[in-house]
Structure formats: C-alpha cells, structure tokens
Structure 1
C-alpha cells in the first residue's frame, strides 16, 4: 500500500483536482443505473478478498467473535478519516472505508465516484453530539453569534470543516465575517491551537472535549454546544469495487457484521472500554467510560430517505460556499444495501 501523505498536502491536491473530478463524474448516470440494477448475491465466491479501513470498529468485530462469521478474507488497512481513505481509493489500495458525511461528497468532486453502503446515526443526536466548539482561554464567546470576527480552525473536506460552515450558516454569518485558519484535524491539533491562541474557536470531539476542559479550564478555556446534528457515520466504497459481483457480495456480508458489532459494543461496555480504549488506545478507564456515556446508542435505520434529505442540505451548503457543482445526494447512496444492516439486527441481534 502506498504511504500516506501529509494531510495538508493531500487536501491541497484534493482541491486542485476538483475540475478534473467534475469532468470525470459527468457521465456517471449510465453506470449508476447499471449498478442499481445489478442484483446482490448471498454467496461470496471462494478466494474473494476485501480490504477494509475501519480501524476502531475492526476491534469490535474481532472482540465480539463476529469476524469468524465472514466467509471471505478480510484485510484490515490502518487507515481512517476522509483524506487517507480517498488517497487509498485513488491508489486502488482499499475497497471500503468508514467516514462521516463529507468524504463521500468530496470523492465525487475529486473524480473518485463512490457509494454509501451503510449508515449509522446517534439516538438523541443533539444530546450526544460528536463535537463541541472549543473556545480559547480568555476569548469572549458564549453563543454562536459571538464567533463573528474570530479565528476559527477549518479543515476542508472533513466533517469538522463542514460543521464550521454549518455553524456560520446557523449564526447568520458568512466566511467573510470570520477568519478561517486551515489546520488538519488530526489528534489534538485543534486543542493545542486553541490553548496557544493560534485560533479562537475550533470544533473538537470525543475525549478531546473532556481533556481540553480539564487541562485548560482553569485558564478560562471552555466548550459550547453548536446545536446541530453532527452524527452521520457511513461505510462507502468506490463504484468500481461495487461493480464487481464478488466484492459487492462480500460488502453485503461485511455490512451485516458491522451492524451486529455496534450492538455488541453497546451490550458489553465494560469489555469494550477495557480492551479497546484502555489496552489498545492507551486511555484511562475514566476516559473510556466518558466516551461511551457521551456516544449514546447507534441508530441504524432501515430507510435512508431522511438521511439523504439531510445530506442534500449539507451538499447544497458546501456547493454554495466552495463553488463546487451541486450533487444529488441520492447519487451518493447504493440503495441495494439500504436495509441490509437493519435487517441483520432484526434477524440476529449482536450474536
């Protein structure tokens, strides 16, 4: 597998490829129709190999024993996030990846046609938001309107970047009303940037919220809710992969196992915390428990209709703010897989 380039370099290359991507996607209608009409088979041919980039959930599939139910060879790729996943797709080094709702949009804008094959959301999404807005120590921001004139961390092509644009829209502001500072959203880059006053506001998520408040709260740092849904999580794959009947069947089987592993995580929180967050990720038990309690339960719907409508709103906003060509959200989904995950839960639970 090719080496993973610096995320900032890849983002620059991504933006530079937009024009090429629009040309490449212009003739996608006929292939899309052929793909939609192709039946999914239940059996996976012998010798089928699926390369999967789903780092965190890989562990749930393994710990639960559900990996033993896969009838094909799965190769786990040490890949996560939109930029790495798109790079791997471009290099034909990955068959399916786990991302939020922005990478599937940018894949089409950069000439890599893909389709979503599974979707997960959060029950009570506003109570269990993934991100909060981190506020730098001493910066006077208590409401969304207060971000006017502030320096805001921004990562194009990623969920955090889209969230910033959505927050501006909700606050009645434009990009011209703030200063967007492009920073990669890897690890704790945003938390460090806030603490050192490189930026005034940044979307931070997961355990970084707890750590930021604990470490810098005494200096006046804080986080505030943004009040928007930020909960989509998807599996997606290049259309070229989905056009291969053997891999399409393997993906169907993987989606079933993927769904059951979510229920396993929820049914075994203590084991998940100890084996993944503590032993695998090096977090404390307290941090792991905070993550689990603030994640909420997974909502895996049998219908994508509402999700597609919300995705369209995001696409329309991004197209307007970035100058890219609008897309039909419907075209981002392979609806052959629409009920596969939910049906697996109905049929077999978490195992």
Structure 2
C-alpha cells in the first residue's frame, strides 16, 4: 500500500435511481450530487472519490494492520491533528474530516463553522488512563488539585486542554477567580517550555508530553499529578458541506467504519502500534512510546451515542457558564446516521 493513499477501484453503476432519494444537483466545488442531511447515506462509494483526512494515528494503524487495503475510498492523508489546525484546514477547504477531542466541534460551531460529528470513542477505565496530566513546574509545590489555588495555569479556551482545566478546578472546589489562567495555545512543546521556563506554574500535558517533560525537568523538581476527572472523549468530525456531498458522505461512512476497526486493532497490537506510530513517525524513544500506549489504555467505540452526547452536553454547559459561550444543543452537531456504522 502506498504510504499516502488507500483505495480499491470499483466498476459499475453505483448510484441507481433508488439510491438517488434525497439527492439533487451539486455545486462545482464538490465531487458528487447534493445529499440532504435527512437522507440516507449511500452505501457505495463511487470510483475515484477522494476523502482528505487529518488523522495520523489511524493512518499508521491502517498501514500497519492492512485494514485499509480494500477501501473503496481514495484517502489523501494530511499530517494535521489538534483542534486549531484541523479547524483552520476546514476553513481553508484543505480537509474533509479530522480526529479531535470533544471541544473542537463545539468551538467550530460557536465560531461560525457548521460541522457534524460522525464517530466517537471512549476509553475503558478513563480515570485510570487520563488523556491529560497536570504538569507542575520545577520548584512549585502542587501535590493535589486542591493545591492549585493561587497558581498560574496554562489555559487554551478553544481546546480540550482548556475544558480539562475547568473540570479540574470544579472538582477541586475552585473557580477561575482562585487561580490565574494564562492563555496559551497548546501546540507542539509550548506547554512544556512554559513550565520549564516558569512562565506558568501548572499546565495540562497530553500523555505524549508527560515523559519528555519529566525526562527534561524532573531532576530540577518538575512533576505531574492526576487531575482526577474524565477527559477521554474523542470524535471524528467534518464540515457539514462534506456530508451534503453524496459521494463524500459515502466515503466518510466507509472511513468511520474502518476508523472503528483501527481503534480495536490498536487495542490488540499495542507494541506494534507503539513502534510503528510513536517511534517511526513521531520520533519518540521506544521507552517513551511504550509508556504512552500503556497510559492511553484500551479504547472502545460505542454504537449507542446517548451517554456520550449527554456527557458532551455537560461539557458544553460548563463552557457556557465559565466562558460565556452561547447555549448549544449538542445533539444538533451529531449526525446519527453514522451511529453504529460498520462495514
């Protein structure tokens, strides 16, 4: 399989008259006829349909496992991840679907980009396998979340790290007035460097940054603590206009299904995934890669979204209260035609 393309050609007429229900002529910039959001997503992907995907971990899993070898969709992989970069790519029409936590779809909606969630993922035993830990700067005394009072904390309002900070403060019985939130976008090593230079005293660190931070600063007194809140929600989401293109929607349906298979493959092949993704593609040491995979735990892809959406609504309500966002019915940004999709 080519490292940047996954496809399998098909022949024959894929969109018969019976499959055209809900379809109308589509604009010049799209690849297929228009699909109403209330119409069934086509089962067949027309030959030559391209889906632009920002999802490096799943790309690695599909290449390592061979699960993507027989996809009808042609995948153009983009080395894009994280909420801000994914949203920028959506707005620049450079990406069709991205893999992010639960906060980016909310902020996309609040800032005027119409999106829909098409797949979700949880972690088994999420409190035992947090996505984020709180990094504590060298020389700062924080041993529990109650010790956050009066501390300067890195905070990115539009990212999952920001919501994590707000959840931790609530869990500790604190408010924003009890700490100093320092707005920094969490990209690359920004939070690690901010901690190391004492620009902030505390910062949320994803598991891929915990080991490098401790390796660099633990000898000076840098530490991490568990935030004690659930932070594992993960989604696939896409601009609504992608779902209004019948060909792209069919391709996205196929990708959502193989994405779920990839999560299960990662569960069953942690060592192979650690080597193939974190070592070969991310450049981490084998020891750090193994530590991240162990910290991540085991994934599950629910086929019933009710509980996931309810938790997402609680998160949205928290941001409405703490950040002054507009009230949002989270159910409206879920495309439940994709609920329970398999191939």
Q: TM-score, normalised by structure 2?
A: 0.87
What do residues 301-344 of structure 1 show as CA deviations (whole Å, max 9, x unaligned)? 1111011111011100101122121101111210111111xx45
**Could you tell me how far apart the structure 2 residues matched to 1:280 and 1:77 are?**
13
**1:306-325 aligned within 5 A:** 306-325=307-326
1:244 lines up with 2:257 in the alignment? no
- Residue 264 of structure 2 contacts residue 300 of structure 2 at CA under 8 Å; is this kept in 1? no
User: In the alignment, what sits opposite 1:107?
Assistant: 108
CA separation of 1:134/1:236 partners in 2, compared to 1, >3 Å: closer, same or farther?
Answer: same
User: In the alignment, what sits opposite 1:39?
Assistant: 40
Cα distance, 1:113 vs. partner? 1.0
Cα distance, 1:46 vs. partner? 2.1
**1:74-89 aligned within 5 A:** 74-89=75-90
RMSD (Å) for aligned C-alpha atoms: 1.5
User: In the alignment, what sits opposite 1:4?
Assistant: none
**Could you tell me how far apart the structure 2 residues matched to 1:272 and 1:172 are?**
39
Cα distance, 1:79 vs. partner? 1.2
**Could you tell me how far apart the structure 2 residues matched to 1:293 and 1:194 are?**
24
**1:227-306 aligned within 5 A:** 227-306=228-307
Flag the structure with higher helix content: 1
**1:339-350 aligned within 5 A:** 339-340=340-341, 343-344=342-343
User: In the alignment, what sits opposite 1:19?
Assistant: none
User: In the alignment, what sits opposite 1:27?
Assistant: none
Q: Secondary structure at the match of 1:204?
A: strand
- Residue 101 of structure 2 contacts residue 160 of structure 2 at CA under 8 Å; is this kept in 1? yes
**Could you tell me how far apart the structure 2 residues matched to 1:279 and 1:78 are?**
14
**1:80-159 aligned within 5 A:** 80-159=81-160
Q: Secondary structure at the match of 1:311?
A: helix
Cα distance, 1:64 vs. partner? 1.3
User: In the alignment, what sits opposite 1:191?
Assistant: 192
What do residues 268-291 of structure 1 show as CA deviations (whole Å, max 9, x unaligned)? 223222222222222111111111
Q: Secondary structure at the match of 1:69?
A: coil
**Could you tell me how far apart the structure 1 residues matched to 2:44 and 2:241 are?**
20
**Could you tell me how far apart the structure 2 residues matched to 1:221 and 1:77 are?**
34
Q: TM-score, normalised by structure 1?
A: 0.85
**Could you tell me how far apart the structure 2 residues matched to 1:72 and 1:62 are?**
15
- Residue 122 of structure 2 contacts residue 234 of structure 2 at CA under 8 Å; is this kept in 1? yes
User: In the alignment, what sits opposite 2:53?
Assistant: 52
- Structure 1 window deviating more from structure 2 (244-253 vs 135-144): it is 135-144
Gaps of 5+ in 1: 1-33, 345-351
**Could you tell me how far apart the structure 2 residues matched to 1:246 and 1:332 are?**
21
Q: Secondary structure at the match of 2:187?
A: coil
**Could you tell me how far apart the structure 2 residues matched to 1:187 and 1:239 are?**
28
User: In the alignment, what sits opposite 2:334?
Assistant: 333
**Could you tell me how far apart the structure 1 residues matched to 2:216 and 2:323 are?**
35
> How many residues matched?
309
User: In the alignment, what sits opposite 1:3?
Assistant: none
**Could you tell me how far apart the structure 2 residues matched to 1:224 and 1:54 are?**
28
**Could you tell me how far apart the structure 1 residues matched to 2:266 and 2:174 are?**
40
Q: Secondary structure at the match of 1:41?
A: coil
**Could you tell me how far apart the structure 2 residues matched to 1:213 and 1:285 are?**
16
- Structure 1 window deviating more from structure 2 (185-194 vs 299-308): it is 185-194
**1:5-20 aligned within 5 A:** none
What do residues 191-210 of structure 1 show as CA deviations (whole Å, max 9, x unaligned)? 22112111011111213212
